[in-house]
Structure formats: C-alpha cells, structure tokens
Amino acid sequence: MKVMIVTDAWLPQVNGVVTTLAKISEGLDQLGHDVRFVTPQLFKSIPCPTYPEIRLSLLPYAGVSREIEAFAPDALHIATEGPLGLAARRYCLKRKIAFTSAFHTRFAEYVHARIRIPVDLTYRWLRNFHAPSRALMVPTPSVQRNLEARGFTNTVAWTRGVDTATFSPGARDALVNRRPIFLYVGRVAVEKNIEAFLKIDLPGTKWVVGEGPMRAKLERRYPHVHFAGIKTPAELARYYRAADVFVFPSLTDTFGLVMLEALACGTPVAAFPVLGPIDVIGDSGAGVLHEDLGIACVQALDIPREKARGYAEQFSWQASIDQFVRHLTPVAARSAAWLLISTPS
C-alpha cells in the first residue's frame, strides 16, 4: 500500500509528534508499505513566531498537489493542522479524496497560553478542519471524550509506544549532583508550564533537558537549576536513568511520550491529574498525580524503579502501528476488503 503522510512537524524538530511519525514510518516500511512524507523541507518556509523550530511553508498548495498526484497514494493521512495540512485538506475536498487526520496537540490550549485567543474559538476551527476526515486519530480515551464533548464525531483511538531497548534501566551515574534528582525533559516554553516545576521547593537537584524560547530567561531566574539543552536518544536515556523522579508539569499535552521514556528507564513520574497523565499514568502505581506538584514529586520518590519499568513495557509501538494501518481509508471508494488485501501478512 502507498501511504502519504502530510505533516508540518518533521525533522530536525525534536518533539512527540515527530517521534511518533518516525516510528510509524519505520513500522510501515517493515510491513512492506511504501511511505512518502510531505514536509516543510520540500517548500520555502519561515520560522513560526514564538516556535522557530517549526517551519511554516509558504503558499504550498500547488506543491502539495503535485506531490499527491505524483505519488498517487492509496491512503492519505494529514498529521497536522498547519499550512501543509490545510493545503492537503483543500486538495482532498476539491477532488473528493478520502483522508484521515490526527489530533496530536491541544492546539487550542497552546494558542491560548501564547496569545490568549479564546479556547472555544480555536476548537470551533479545529472541529471544522477535522470534520471531513474519515477517522480523526486521538492518543488517549480522555482526549477522545474531551473532543466528543466539544462536538467532534469522528474520533478513533490511536495509542503510542516506547522504545524499550533504547530507554531501559542501567547505570545511574550520568548525573553526580546531590540527590534526589528531579528531571524535566521537553520544550522550554510557556505552554509546557515548566515554571510550575522550577518554582517548587524540593530537596536535591533539578535538571532541565530541552530547548525553547524561555530557556535564557529561566536560567537567569532559577540559577540553581541545571539546563542541559537537547540530547540524542542515547544521551537522554542516561539522564532518565540518573534521575530519581521525572516531572511532567504540562497541562496541555495530549499524551506525553517523555513520560513513557522515563518509565522505561525505571524512573517514576510526578504530574498533575490532567489529560495525558490521567491516561498514561492513571492508577498504575508507576507515578503520582496530584494537584500539588510538589507533593507528587516527593511521593514519587517511594515508587520502586522496577515497577515503573514493568508498567512501561506494556506500551508497544507495534500496537500503535497496527492501529494506524487499521484506521487508514482508501482515497477512493473501493471494496471493503481493500485494507486486508493491501496489508502484508
């Protein structure tokens, strides 16, 4: 099967969307499918205001149309709601081509955190964007319920996984600071609510791995916090292992792959009881969810590392890949057996 994925988020960005799409592509290749990506790398682009790592493609409709027509995909998936996603959606609607889409990011909450556009207004726009999609893939049951309560009618479950080989228990000597060590991994930006972690009075040491527009200001404001920048997956695994607790302060993520990566390394999680952590951690005992993040951090210190690892082993990228394939829809009306026939045994 020829699968085209249109995404405004792609390498060299480092985030959960890119990680997920890269894993899906790898899995589809192994299954024998022919995968083609349409990304900002194919177009003239400009940095996204307040998020320069994201490139916004300029006037991409003609180029996206050519890419679709040249590849002639059997299935087309629109991963993001940016300029490329909008162009692909327009092409599909104009030519009555079926497509699927995904809800990776709580975009309405992100926009509100940055420029105060009302959340309901952005959700209305998102609902209109995804309405023609044959299947809107969402990462967790709580996100699915939230979208359905806002009038989305085409949601389907699409879970996430973790690379338990790269992210695994091992030596914990990467960081030699005073323990306990509390670690944050992610974008250093307002929508990640990172200051909710940095301002807590905790024993031991705090580390931040990642980059973003707030880093310089936060380094000045919190001189006792260690900032490490972006790390490769192998390097990142060493930081996860060395930490005693992984802290996830975000209130706007739909999933939070970094939580699974930390757990796979044996590090328990502390987070708020909100969408994302509710589904990833829940009542598993591998982390602590509490309205007071400081309490969650301290209580998570008592969780055995083997419990965290054991829970992470339940999350498989293969299951995520299988779900993705099942949700794909042929671009044109074909027999009901199309997907079974086009999926290698």
Q: CATH code at 221?
A: 3.40.50.2000
Strands annotated E in the chain: 2-6, 34-38, 45-48, 51-57, 75-78, 100-102, 136-138, 155-157, 181-185, 205-209, 226-229, 245-248, 269-271, 287-289
Question: Based on the domain organization, do 289 and 245 belong to the same domain?
Answer: yes
The boundaries of the domain holding residue 20 are 2-161+317-342
Q: What is the pLDDT of residue 155?
A: 98
> Does residue 173 form part of some domain?
no
Question: Based on the domain organization, do 293 and 280 belong to the same domain?
Answer: yes
> Does residue 336 form part of some domain?
yes
> Does residue 176 form part of some domain?
no
For residues 334 and 112, what is the distance between their CA atoms, to the nearest angstrom?
Answer: 42
Low-confidence stretches of the chain (pLDDT beneath 70): 333-345
Cα-based distances in Å from 298 to 169, 182, 240, 312: 21, 10, 17, 21
Question: Based on the domain organization, do 241 and 306 belong to the same domain?
Answer: yes
Question: Based on the domain organization, do 109 and 232 belong to the same domain?
Answer: no
Question: Based on the domain organization, do 11 and 90 belong to the same domain?
Answer: yes
Question: Based on the domain organization, do 71 and 100 belong to the same domain?
Answer: yes
Q: What is the pLDDT of residue 147?
A: 96
Question: Based on the domain organization, do 285 and 329 belong to the same domain?
Answer: no
> Does residue 174 form part of some domain?
no
- Total number of domains in the chain: 2
* Per-residue pLDDT tens over the stretch 196-211: 999 999 999 999 999 9
Q: Residue type for 235, please?
A: E
> By the 8 A CB rule, do 215 and 222 touch?
no
- The tally of CA atoms less than 13 A away on the side-chain side of residue 20 is 29
3-state secondary structure of 112: helix
> Does residue 240 form part of some domain?
yes
Q: What is the pLDDT of residue 316?
A: 93
> Does residue 175 form part of some domain?
no
Question: Based on the domain organization, do 219 and 259 belong to the same domain?
Answer: yes
Q: What is the pLDDT of residue 335?
A: 36
* Per-residue pLDDT tens over the stretch 123-151: 999 999 999 999 999 999 999 999 999 99
Question: Based on the domain organization, do 9 and 130 belong to the same domain?
Answer: yes
Question: Based on the domain organization, do 275 and 294 belong to the same domain?
Answer: yes
> Does residue 125 form part of some domain?
yes
Question: Based on the domain organization, do 332 and 226 belong to the same domain?
Answer: no
Question: Based on the domain organization, do 119 and 256 belong to the same domain?
Answer: no
